[in-house]
Structure 1
Amino acid sequence: MIHYPRHHTTRYMKFTALTLAIALLMTACGGGKKRDKQEASTPTKTEQVGKVHFFLETSASMGGYLNGGTTFKDVVSDVVTKANQLRPVSLNTISGKTQPVSGDVNTFVAQMATTPLATGKSSELHKIFREVGERAKGNDVAIFVSDCILSFPDADIKRDPEVNRNNASSTLKNSIYDQFATFSKQGIGATVLAYTSPFNGTYYTYQNQKQKLAGEQRPFYIWIIGKQSLVGTFAGQLLESLSTTPAKRLDFGAAGALKAYDLLFSANKSGDWRAERNNVTEIEMGRKAKPVEFAIAVNLNALPGYAQEETYLQKNLNVAVDNGAVKLVKVQRKAALNTDRMSDREQKLLSQNTHVLTFHVDNLFDETATVTLKLPVRFDSWYTNWSTMDDRTATGRQGKTFALEHLMTGVREAYQTSGNEFAAMSIKLSKN
């Protein structure tokens, strides 16, 4: 037997222990054939709304909503009070120009019940939206309440009683378009909540004729305007707390086409493949190979609320492949995933997204292929049924707003021209 000096034996034992530790560490870090090179990103901090700037339109046409017991007063009081619980609210009235309201939210709610507020002249909505939008900068959000009747100034109507009807689809619509196109370029979006309420007072037709109404149901609208990444979340929080659900809702986005995604490397995975730099590589294909499915996580917070619905995404997401056949098989909110077996870094990827989209690879005709995903911009059109071009009779205006279709069309066109897709992404696939 050969006897080694004691210090040699000690060095040998230390070396052996170090070698074993390194081997164990490499195994723990994912050794084996199908290792993933996907790097986890640090979750981004959630943005918070700064202040909420509330505006109540007080042109004379709004007076009937404030007389007697009306749904309008109930809803507006509720909105102001609940919004103030979410973030600090500054209060304003607006017709020709903005007028700050002194006192707190409780004082304002009491004023709606006891003080004549709607005494201003006919308002030009595009100018009002400009003033409201000036407050919706940075992380601040603006709430604007109005009957949303498009109109020229009183003097123009006096000169030509048909000026509103003859020019609603051109001059008035394009004035609205111009203002919201500016918002869109600034990344400012809008959510519209539509309600109806008894109206007790003087109604002004498109010709400025006065008609006394007693309890006739009239529409009104609440606009939430601000940075698109904040508006959707804030509107959702506000709606959850309100006592009265709106009859309709419409979301206008300003975020541009979403291009970012995170390829998940175990969630909903089927078949043999690996994740490498956000692409699906080393895919095993053939008769004996297992069916291949992969999933990506996407953050759709910046999209309008209806465009985040699972059914909408399943129906409208276009999937195209240049050298193969791939189809969308499942759309899930991230909360629907079981994360028990996910690694920490995959959970970090998931945490900064809202949805998971799972795809099935039917075939690859070449060594590589590119999957292109596009979600086209589509807006709801319920407002066409809420619009009239002749409001001089109860039948003509029942449940409708003069020229609402042209107002909403102007807004819709402003956002559609900024990008015709909510999302546009591409994923590379390659065989083993």
Structure 2
Amino acid sequence: MSVFLEYSGGMRGFVPRGGADKPATEFQRRIGALLTETQVSGAVANRKYYLCENAAPRAVQFAQLRDVVQGEVNQAALGTELPQMLEGILSMPQAPQQVSVVISDFIYGPARKSDFSQLPNLIRTSIAPVSQQQLAVAVFGETSKFYGTYHPAVKTPMAKRTLNGEKVPYYVWVIGPPALVARYSAEVFKNAPVQQAFFGLKTTTPAFAPVLTKLTDVKLKPSGSVYGEGNGLTLNVSDDPVDFTVGVNLKELPAAWQQPAFLAQHLQVRLPNGQASLVPNSVRPLTEDEQSGQPVLAPYTHVLRLRVSKLASPTATLSVALPAPETPEWVAAWSTSNDNTPASRTFGLDQILAGVRQSYPTPLAPVFTVQLPIKKD
């Protein structure tokens, strides 16, 4: 995998030289921790590090990149326009086969002002490998105190101004094969910010099965006439609905997507020729004690309860899917058409991510789908 840090005049204010009396900026703390985790994590192999300046990305050692984040560099480059920067990163050898982590403020200030009107199209063209190679893009948004010269996209009434600790946004993009992006987001990007957007993310089919016996928690035991038969179930719903617990391994999902509230809101349960649903407030992660103390639960990270209240045909297939969420609401809140006055918003962020979203078909493919054969008793 490769990490790319844009180091232009517009980024330098995130990384002032610190000291005992000068606390690190949020950028320095967060990105310093991310670089360290990337360097030491067993989930990452073949690490490479680059600075994105006013030419092609320049390879540097881990220690050099860490020094830049700590503020131990005197001169920043002029910078590269956003579409060209992304195009340069994704045109590098092996880019479609690996994870590329891009750290930048993603401010787009083209030399040709007419390019502003084509922002989504320019982004879509620059990340062509995303659609051609069916790659995923994860976007994480954060703010940090900024000390130095701020270069807005909108140059009037001031082409630049000096900031002294005002907070402005920066972003981390993770681009690559969907399963690798999912793993990096879940295992390496510790304590990721709340502002997250994922495009084209898919995982391998997770371990998934009904759990009916050898359970010590009475709340997990089935209710109604149901028994297991291989990987499927046989049940009788002629009088009352049947509730049962299933285990699922969601370790490949980003941490935010493993939260019960997110799963309860987004999981879709379908049963052709029948009626099935997710029991309210039933999605929860398993504790280590539950996994170790009940071997039947060991393969899973989460449990949830399913309810079958109607089954018209002798056999059917129940499915549980996680649809890919569309562009989240925070993107609009963090977008502006005039960034001349610094704020926690980025010029044209919604247009930038519109270009990303347009690189994928409509509707987006599900993140995963699991299935369970059912027979009518």
TM-score under structure 2 length normalisation: 0.77
Q: 1:213 to 1:237 in 2, by over 3 A?
A: same
Pairing 1:295-314 to 2, within 5 Å after superposition: 295-314=245-264
Pairing 1:15-414 to 2, within 5 Å after superposition: 52-67=1-16, 70-86=25-41, 89-95=47-53, 96-102=55-61, 104-105=62-63, 108-109=66-67, 112-125=70-83, 127-128=85-86, 131=89, 134=92, 138=97, 140-152=98-110, 154=111, 157=112, 162-169=113-120, 171-175=121-125, 178-182=128-132, 185-186=134-135, 188-206=136-154, 210-215=159-164, 216-240=166-190, 246=193, 248-255=195-202, 258=205, 261-266=208-213, 268-281=221-234, 283-287=235-239, 292-329=242-279, 330-335=282-287, 338=290, 346-347=296-297, 350-351=298-299, 353-379=300-326, 380-391=328-339, 393-394=340-341, 397-414=342-359
Counterpart-to-counterpart distance in 2, 1:136 and 1:148: 20
Deviation at 1:127, TM superposition (A): 4.3
Look up the match of 1:430: 375
Tell me if the contact between 1:192 and 1:249 (Cα under 8 Å) persists in the aligned partners.
yes
Deviation at 1:137, TM superposition (A): 5.4
Q: 1:322 to 1:79 in 2, by over 3 A?
A: closer
| Fraction of identical pairs, as percent | 22
Counterpart-to-counterpart distance in 2, 1:224 and 1:174: 16
Q: Secondary structure of 1:168's match?
A: helix
Look up the match of 2:22: none
Tell me if the contact between 1:147 and 1:219 (Cα under 8 Å) persists in the aligned partners.
yes
Tell me if the contact between 1:374 and 1:421 (Cα under 8 Å) persists in the aligned partners.
yes
Deviates more, 1:229-238 or 1:404-413: 229-238
Deviation at 1:177, TM superposition (A): 5.8
Tell me if the contact between 2:183 and 2:253 (Cα under 8 Å) persists in the aligned partners.
no
Tell me if the contact between 1:54 and 1:144 (Cα under 8 Å) persists in the aligned partners.
yes
Counterpart-to-counterpart distance in 1, 2:291 and 2:10: 55
In structure 1, give the amino acid aligned to 2:71. Answer: A
Q: Secondary structure of 1:314's match?
A: helix
Deviation at 1:146, TM superposition (A): 0.5
Tell me if the contact between 1:257 and 1:421 (Cα under 8 Å) persists in the aligned partners.
no
Q: Secondary structure of 2:71's match?
A: helix
Q: Secondary structure of 1:378's match?
A: coil
Deviation at 1:55, TM superposition (A): 1.4
Counterpart-to-counterpart distance in 1, 2:14 and 2:286: 42
Tell me if the contact between 2:202 and 2:366 (Cα under 8 Å) persists in the aligned partners.
no
Q: 1:364 to 1:413 in 2, by over 3 A?
A: same
Tell me if the contact between 1:66 and 1:72 (Cα under 8 Å) persists in the aligned partners.
yes
TM-score under structure 1 length normalisation: 0.69
Q: 1:293 to 1:107 in 2, by over 3 A?
A: closer
Tell me if the contact between 2:140 and 2:193 (Cα under 8 Å) persists in the aligned partners.
no
Counterpart-to-counterpart distance in 1, 2:262 and 2:337: 32
Counterpart-to-counterpart distance in 2, 1:286 and 1:335: 35
Q: Secondary structure of 2:367's match?
A: strand
Tell me if the contact between 2:137 and 2:173 (Cα under 8 Å) persists in the aligned partners.
no
Deviation at 1:403, TM superposition (A): 1.1
In structure 1, give the amino acid aligned to 2:159. Answer: K
Q: 1:403 to 1:279 in 2, by over 3 A?
A: same
State the structure with more CA Rg. 1
Counterpart-to-counterpart distance in 2, 1:107 and 1:358: 47
Tell me if the contact between 1:191 and 1:232 (Cα under 8 Å) persists in the aligned partners.
no
Counterpart-to-counterpart distance in 2, 1:100 and 1:340: 45
Look up the match of 1:28: none
Counterpart-to-counterpart distance in 1, 2:226 and 2:312: 17
Tell me if the contact between 2:274 and 2:309 (Cα under 8 Å) persists in the aligned partners.
yes
Deviation at 1:430, TM superposition (A): 1.8
In structure 2, give the amino acid aligned to 1:274. Answer: Y
Q: 1:249 to 1:364 in 2, by over 3 A?
A: closer
Counterpart-to-counterpart distance in 1, 2:331 and 2:236: 51
Q: 1:277 to 1:117 in 2, by over 3 A?
A: farther
Q: 1:83 to 1:357 in 2, by over 3 A?
A: same
In structure 2, give the amino acid aligned to 1:163. Answer: S
Counterpart-to-counterpart distance in 1, 2:2 and 2:363: 26
Deviation at 1:418, TM superposition (A): 7.5
Look up the match of 2:218: none
Deviation at 1:147, TM superposition (A): 0.9
Q: 1:358 to 1:211 in 2, by over 3 A?
A: same
Looking at secondary structure, tell me which structure has more helix per residue.
Answer: 1
Counterpart-to-counterpart distance in 1, 2:345 and 2:59: 30
Counterpart-to-counterpart distance in 1, 2:286 and 2:358: 32
Tell me if the contact between 1:191 and 1:231 (Cα under 8 Å) persists in the aligned partners.
no
Counterpart-to-counterpart distance in 1, 2:308 and 2:203: 29
